[in-house]
Chains A and B, each alone.
Chain A
Amino acid sequence: MTDDREPSDDDPESQAVRALLKRSLAQDAHDAPDLLPGIQRRLRRRSRGKFFGDGWSTAQTRTSYVLVGLMTILLVALAYIALGTVELR
């Protein structure tokens, strides 16, 4: 089969088909699923836990890093104060 016809996007027939396609397929694009968790699961499984295996990299923001960091500092500080109080007695 030879490909010898020169098309144009501007002719009315092409424009009508393009419009029909866009109209018909518009809804599907809005309903795209959330792929990330499934992809991370596959990579974790296939890399035997080397990637996306620590529970951190799957987080979407830095909030959890900061929060746990602050909590750790707070705990250490509380422990230090408590131990200091015991020694003074």
Chain B
Amino acid sequence: MPLLDDTEARLVERLVARDERAFNALVRAYEGRVFSVALRMLGNRAEAEDLAQEVFVQVFKAVGTFRGESKLSTWIYRIAINLAKNRGKYLRVRRAEAHDDLDALDQGAGTGQDKRENVARVERPDEMMAGLEVEQVVRRAIQELEPSFRECLVLRDVEDLSYGEIGEITGLPEGTVKSRIHRARAQLKERVERVLGAKTP
């Protein structure tokens, strides 16, 4: 059974022929979903916007390699997830380096006692989060999940994709996808409860 319906197949033909108006229509159809995934994966709007634009640039460049073996949306999600994972790695390294630089500065200024007080203040999540809304706590908890768990959770619980589609996007067996989603939900629940001090979300 073909995975592409007639409308989608015609759209792909036009995209392969470099029809710019067809590409505009594709962007309009998918920009919300691609931005949403990018935002959930990166947790930063500016980075998500930049990444989402890059996803469509890659789609434009690579559409000739699309063989119709999956739905067009699945293929686009796969590009988005792969780029988001790479960008996430890059940002984590950059943050770690910036953190190291700040630590070096910190060691050069102030006494050990000052440093202990600063660390203690930052490491009290209950105080730090006390004034924040539940939504912000959830968003932060998502960012604290392991990226491989986060991608499965986002695709399932936010984007409402099937386990099969998530397997195609991530390249994981369906059983592994289910397991990661289950673990991600448990971790998310535990983190939210810990921060809010509630028993159930």
Contacts and interface: CB of A to CB of B under 8 A. Distances in A.
Q: Do A and B come from one complex?
A: yes
Interface of A: 3-7, 13-14, 16-18, 20-25, 27-29, 32-36, 38-40, 42-43, 46, 51-52, 57-58, 60
A17 B32 CA distance: 23
B49 A35 contact: yes
B147 to A, nearest CB: 14
A20 B142 CA distance: 12
Interface stretch (B16-24, B77-85, B117-125): B16-24
A60 B200 CA distance: 48
Contact of B139 (A24, A29, A33, A58): A24
28 contacts: A3-B175, A3-B176, A3-B179, A3-B180, A5-B183, A6-B178, A6-B182, A7-B178, A16-B189, A16-B200, A17-B188, A17-B201, A18-B157, A18-B185, A20-B134, A21-B138, A21-B158, A21-B188, A23-B135, A24-B135, A25-B158, A28-B36, A35-B34, A35-B49, A35-B56, A42-B53, A58-B24, A60-B24
B69 to A, nearest CB: 25
A39 B27 contact: yes
Contacts of A24: 134-135, 138-139
Provide the main secondary structure of the chain A interface: helix
B157 A36 contact: no
Interface string B42-53: 000100010011
B181 interface: yes
A14 B185 contact: yes
B53 A38 contact: yes
A36 B49 contact: no
Interface of B: 18, 20-21, 24, 27-28, 31-32, 34-36, 39-40, 45, 49, 52-54, 56-57, 60, 134-135, 138-139, 142, 153, 157-158, 175-176, 178-183, 185, 188-189, 192, 200-201
Nearest to B57: A42
A32 B57 contact: no
Closest 8 CB pairs of A and B: A7-B182, A3-B179, A57-B20, A24-B138, A24-B135, A17-B185, A20-B201, A35-B31
Given A21-B138, A35-B35, A36-B28, A46 B181 contact: no
Given A21-B158, A33-B49, A46-B57, 13 more contacts: A4-B179, A6-B182, A7-B178, A13-B185, A13-B189, A17-B189, A25-B139, A35-B56, A39-B27, A39-B60, A40-B24, A42-B53, A43-B60
